[in-house]
Structures are given as structure tokens and as C-alpha cells.
Amino acid sequence: MTMNIQRLLLPLVAAVCTVAATPTLKAQNPTIAVVDMQQALNDYNRTKTEVDKINAYGEQKGEELDAKKAVLKQLTDKMVEEQKIATDPANNEATRKAAAEKLQELGKERNVKLKEIAEDERKASQELMKLRQEMEKALVADIQNVMNQLAEAKKIDLIFDKSFLPKANKAIIYTSGNVVDLTAEIIGVLNQ
């Protein structure tokens, strides 16, 4: 009797397991789309505006550094003059000694300026990198928001980035014409 129950239960259990393991029809045929994130980023009107702001800030920092470098050059030129006076045997000892002392003072001042300039260059570089990262994050967030809205409206299950941005770490080798490409539509919504 137990053998008959096992024979009856075994096909029933197999059928239940098969039904439970079978994904829904939608999961078997997900709607897939692609977007070229790099093109969307490049063609987004706000990108140029934000890049121009960062470039203007970089130019301002560059001008500030150039002014400090001009002061440094003046110090260097003064040091060359004092060096000539300090080493010229035609000058009396008091003049040479005063020039040597002045040369030391200028050297200390120049070293301080060099350190200031190096620190300012480092800070400016870090600030610009931070601004670029924040800009990119904000622009990608805008694109992502539009992409999410379109995906929901069009009932798309999966979207791949076909631009192969290094940060995305994805590679689309081939996309048929049957796959929806949302790039132009996303750019259109962003640039309204």
C-alpha cells in the first residue's frame, strides 16, 4: 500500500515542483531596452552649462596661481641680483655682506611662496575634481530619473548601457533593431 502511495505522490510532487519552478510568462520574456549613457550625458543641455561653470572656476584658480607665480618670479629675479652683488669682488665687504643677508631673507620668502603655490595647486586640483564628480553625479541622476520614468511608462524590465562607460563596467556587443533604444527619448525629455 505504501508503494502505491509513493507511485501516486511521486508524479504529483514532480508536477508541483515543475509548476513552482516555472517562472511567469513575463519573466520568461522580459522587455529589454538600451540607452547610450555617454551620448545622453554629452547631448544633455545642462552638461555644457555645468562644464562651462567648472572651466570658468578652473580659469579663475589658474589666474590666482599665475599671480602668485609672478610674485615668485620677482623674488627669484631679486635673488639673482643680490647674488651678483654678494659675489662681485668689486663691491666692498659690507655691501657684499648686506647682499648675502638679503639673499638669505629672499630665499626664505621664496621657499614659503613655493610651498604656498604647491598647496594652492593641490587644493585647486582637488576642488576641480570634486566639482566634476559632483556634476557628473547630478547629471547622471537626472538621466537616471528620466530613464526610470520611461521604463515604468513603457513597462520595460531591463535597461543596459550600451556606451560602455568605464564606470558602468558593462559591455553590449550587439543590439538588434528589436531592442528599444531610449537614448534619443531621454535626451529629448531632459532638454525640454
**pLDDT tier, 176 (very low <50, low <70, confident <90, very high otherwise):** low
- Asked if the structure places residue 124 within a domain, the reply is yes
Q: In which domain, by residue range, is 43 found? A: 20-190
CB contact at 8 A, 77 and 173: no
pTM of the model: 0.69
**Could you tell me if residue 7 is inside a domain?**
no
The answer to whether residue 115 sits within a structural domain is yes
Q: Place 172 in a pLDDT band, splitting at 50, 70 and 90.
A: low
Q: What's the burial of 179, exposed, middle or buried (CB within 10 Å: 0-12/13-18/19+)? A: middle
The answer as to whether 6 is a domain residue is no
Category of 36 on φ-ψ map: left (φ > 0), alpha (ψ -120 to 50) or beta: beta
Number of domains in the chain: 1
* pLDDT beyond 70 at 181: yes
Q: How does pLDDT run across 81-100, given as a tens digit for each residue?
A: 999 999 999 999 999 999 99
CATH number of the CATH domain containing 125: 3.30.910.20
